[in-house]
Structure 1
Amino acid sequence: MVSSSFLKHPIPVGGEPRHVKSVTNMLIARGHKVALTIDDQHLSSASMPGLDATFSPTLLFPRLVNKAFPIDLAVYVAFWRFLRSWRPDIVHLHACLDFSLVPIIVAARAGVPVVVTVHSSWPVCFRHGLCYNEDGSCVERFSRRICSACLAYGRRIENKRRVPIAVMSVILLGAWWARRRVFRHVGRFIVPSAIVGRRIRDAGISTEQISAIPYDLPTDDFSVRSWVARPGGEGVRLLCVGRLEPGKGVQYLLHALREVCAVHPDLNLTLTVVGDGSFRPELEQLTASLDLRGAVRFIGAQLRSRLPDLYADTDLVVIPSLSEALPYVALEAGTIGVPVVATHVGGIPEIFGNDAIIVPPMDATALARGILAVLSDRDAANTRAARARERFRTNYGCDTMVNRIETVYAELRDSKTQIAHRPRSDSEAAFTRSVDPKRHR
């Protein structure tokens, strides 16, 4: 059994590469041979012990062209040769943008089953990953329409060329038609949450092709410990962990912090922001303009091995994201048992239920109210966090996730067709009902 994946970065700093690394290590530990297919030459078999092979194709067309119509001829030839020489049992993709349609086409031609893990809600708005308005101003971001304006804008930014929006619309419509045909060859789409499953179903993916397997919490470089409330009188400490990009919503958290400080100036409140990214200069400038420089610390990206200490030294974790599938910071905070205030995006409401304060995204006032709700009733917040800790440690372990992934592999490998038509378990049936409620009324 073999998993072959596209990985965009050699260092697992985001959710997708971290998940790929975790799954790869677990499969290797269980005796499977794994080849990793990447688009970065820096990752080698030596950097991830146990890898049987790594393959880094070279793009023939510019990256933006491949985003619009991701079938690169050079990658096609290279992947076909690699597939014939390595002969995998399963091709497992973790990125269906860029040139990742090529492995689906090649694997279908070779008769190898394909599994795709969806780490975002990409087909709902075709250009997910191309959006240049991740601050929430793009009205098409959560619609089913194809946003050709965003791609035309990106074409001007990256390639210094102007393409009429009407022409880009025709290109994208043709590309989406091609994608839909290619996706028929995918045996199973694995989604981390029901909301992502519903979005790809609404984009035209059959419910029978969708399986829900939540992420695990990798513990190889993350020490799981139980959070203990800090003694009073030392001020209030908030923690935000994530890449500093507009879509992570830290700008709304800063405005919310200003509102909290205005209501309770005596709180001695401190926000620690862990992470780095292209949006950091704007966030630091916003911090200064809101007169929060004494209350906010930007400490940059940190090793995961240091995160447990940061969680232990906080009173509240805030997740202000505008869009997520299932963020690892939510799994980390829930497993450790820290009180959480988070936005109602992706799988966050599904995994926390009533065990966290959930507020609307892009709403600084609602975020401020959520923070104040936790600070005004610490006992209730600690009780919610303790319930979340017990549930997370039971439901989001590596073994549980990889067992379910192996089950999908075995079903597709042993079936004559790509989609395994079989009786579903109770948990999968419940997920199917959540993805397609009208069908199961």
Structure 2
Amino acid sequence: MCPAPTPSRLRSFGHVSSTPAQPYGKAPLRTVQVLGGGSAGSSVHVRSLSAGLAARGVRVTVCAPVESEGVYDFTGAGAHFAPVPRRTGPVAVAALRQVCTGADVVHAHGLQAAARAAVAVHGQRVPLVVTWHSRPYAQGARAPLARLLERRVARAAVVVLGTSSDLVDRARSSGARDARLAPVTVPAPRRAASPAQPDKTRADLGAVARPLLIAVGSLEAHRGYDTLFDAARAWCRQDPVPLLVIAGEGSKRVALAQRIEAEQLPICLLGRREDVSELLAVADVAVLPSSWESRSLLAQEALRAGVPLVATAVGGIPELVGDAAVLVPYANAAALASAVCGLLDDPQRRAGLASAGRRQAATWPTEDDTVAQVLSVYDELSERGRVGP
């Protein structure tokens, strides 16, 4: 997903309102939002959710690794922040249990956060809601353990919210008692991100008189960069040769850098960037070659910005983008290269996709829609007095 946003970038999204007074005699709902700290998408969602809930009079506590507060500014969204160690263990569980005691609802985001939250609330009359933003990418001997953890989390939760339809199906097959679709949205910036000097931005990247392609995401195997690099060999035949820039870091950086050098590929690894929106604004095409995505941050930002997108037809991508992007099979370098080159050769089609992307983005749920749906779940649990096992 996108590199972690900075507090200044986060404050440009949405709004933060003061907490209104509660109706006379009615105690405010108290929720605890639990994060594992590993996903930018889930952290941005919790920040947005916290702001919306606080504006509606809900008392919100966010439990996450201490460094998360410096990046996402949960207190600035109206929440109380309670640091919890990143690694699951007795200390982390004990700290989380203390915060969750007396809460009306505990809402965990992601598999690891949900697993520790389930242990923390065990034996308490506190309902556990879990949002699945993604699925495990574990391979080899770790895959069965990840699947076992999924099943335990699904069965421990009173309600599982999946951000895409396939995640809802996955939760149900894992034993969830109540699984619902809850598509979250990336907070829309109040104004479109556009560099003050777009020509300079492109020049700094080395794309003055050549097409600029952009990919964003961690440098890990499931992101599909090996296929993307294979495709890059094909578009080397374009004139001029497009430049692909990749924003993100990860365990495959060295291997990818070595391949770029050995094969003389027109690719630049940018590392973590705090200006992804600005880079996207000057790109000609965005590329998303992942093996699986739910509601990709890059896809949402590209369509909102009117940047043509080529993505793999996996997970929640087709239902997210509709007809507003070019979809190709996963791990098919020829199809990926053909789609990119076809767009670069067809300015009219790129313009059509830019318009279609903005229209598609307008159909997505707003921050208020997302908050209202989650709050309705909380109210339902409070009214019915349902609790976890």
TM-score range, shorter chain: 0.7 to 0.9
CA contact (8 A) 1:252 1:364 kept: yes
Matches within 5 A, 1:117-196: 117-121=131-135, 128-129=136-137, 131=138, 133=139, 149-150=141-142, 172=145, 176=148, 180=151, 183-196=154-167
Q: Of residues 172, 182, 187 in structure 2, which corresponds to 1:201?
A: 172
Q: Within the alignment, does 1:116 sit opposite 2:125 as a pair?
A: no
**Residue equivalent to 1:399:** 368
Deviation of 1:328 after TM superposition, in Å, equals: 0.6
d(CA) in 1 for partners of 2:257 and 2:324?
A: 32
Paired residue for 1:236?
Answer: 211
Would the alpha carbon gap of residues 403 and 226 (structure 1) be closer, same or farther in structure 2, given more than 3 Å must change?
farther
Q: 1:356 aligns with which of 297, 302, 325?
A: 325
Partner amino acid for 2:324? D
Equivalences, count: 347
Match of 1:258 among 230, 233, 246: 233
- Map 1:84-123 → 2, pairs under 5 A: 84=101, 87-97=102-112, 100-107=114-121, 109-121=123-135
- 8 Å CA contact 1:105–1:182 kept in 2: the answer is no
Q: CA deviation at 1:24?
A: 2.2
Q: Give the CA deviation at 1:193.
A: 0.7
Unaligned runs of 5+ in 2: 1-28, 200-207
Question: Deviation per CA, 1:286-323, whole angstroms, max 9, x where unpaired?
Answer: 1112212xx222222111xx233212211100001112
Q: Which residue of 1 aligns with 2:244?
A: 271
CA displacement at 1:79 relative to structure 2: 3.5
In structure 1, distance between residues paired with 2:156 and 2:307: 42
Cα distance between partner residues in 1 of 2:40 and 2:92:
25
Task: Give the alignment's TM-score, normalised by structure 1.
Answer: 0.70
Q: 1:42 is matched with which residue?
A: 67
Please report how far the alpha carbon of residue 74 of structure 1 lies from its aligned counterpart in structure 2 after TM superposition. 5.0
Deviation, structure 1 residue 27: 2.3
Task: State TM-score, norm by structure 2.
Answer: 0.79
The reply to whether residue 332 of structure 1 matches residue 357 of structure 2 is no
CA RMSD in angstroms comes to 3.1
Q: CA deviation at 1:364?
A: 1.3
**Bigger fraction of residues in strand:** 2
**Alignment CA distance shift 1:76-1:338 (3 Å):** closer
2:223 counterpart residue number: 248
Q: Would the alpha carbon gap of residues 312 and 96 (structure 1) be closer, same or farther in structure 2, given more than 3 Å must change?
A: closer
Counterpart Cα distance in 2 of 1:216 and 1:182: 24
Aligned residues of 1:2 and 1:89 also touching (Cα < 8 A): yes
2:262 to 284, 289, 292: 289
| Paired position in structure 1 for 2:43 | 17
Runs of at least 4 residues of structure 1 off by over 6 A?
none
Q: Which residue of 2 aligns with 1:163?
A: none
Partners of 1:41 and 1:32 lie apart in 2 by 23
Is contact 2:150–2:174 with CA below 8 Å preserved after alignment? no
Going from structure 1 to structure 2, the CA distance change for 1:2 and 1:367 (only over 3 Å counts) comes to: farther
Amino acid at match of 1:214: P
For the pair 1:224 / 2:192, whether they are aligned, the reply is yes
Residue 186 of structure 1 deviates from its aligned partner by 1.7
The corresponding residue for 1:342 is: 311
Letter in 1 for 2:123: R
The answer for the alignment partner of 1:210 in structure 2 is 179
CA shift in 2, pair 1:251/1:413, >3 Å = same
Query: Percent identical across equivalent pairs?
Result: 28
Residue by residue over 1:97-124, the C-alpha shift from the partner in whole angstroms, topping out at 9 and shown as x without a partner, is 3x74343355353222211000123xxx
Deviation at residue 92 of structure 1 after TM alignment? 0.2
In structure 1, C-alpha distance between the alignment counterparts of 2:32 and 2:216, rounded to whole Å: 29
**Which deviates more from structure 2 when the two are superposed, residues 25-34 or residues 338-347?**
25-34
Tell me, yes or no, if the aligned pair for 1:44 and 1:54 is still in contact at 8 Å.
no
Three-state SS of the structure 2 residue aligned to 1:110 is: coil
CA contact (8 A) 1:2 1:33 kept: yes
Change (3 A) 1:300 1:189: same
Once the 2 structures are TM-superposed, how far is the Cα of residue 223 of structure 1 from its aligned partner? 4.1
1:319 equivalent in alignment to 2:288 = yes
Q: Does the Cα contact within 8 Å between 1:226 and 1:336 map onto a contact in 2?
A: no
Gaps of 5+ in 1: 64-71, 122-127, 134-146, 152-168, 420-441
Q: In structure 2, what is the Cα distance between the partners aligned to 1:336 and 1:88?
A: 39
Within the alignment, does 1:83 sit opposite 2:110 as a pair? no
Q: Which amino acid aligns with 1:92?
A: H
- For residues 344-372 of structure 1, the C-alpha deviation after alignment (integer angstroms, 9 at most, x for no partner) is 12211111122211111122112111112
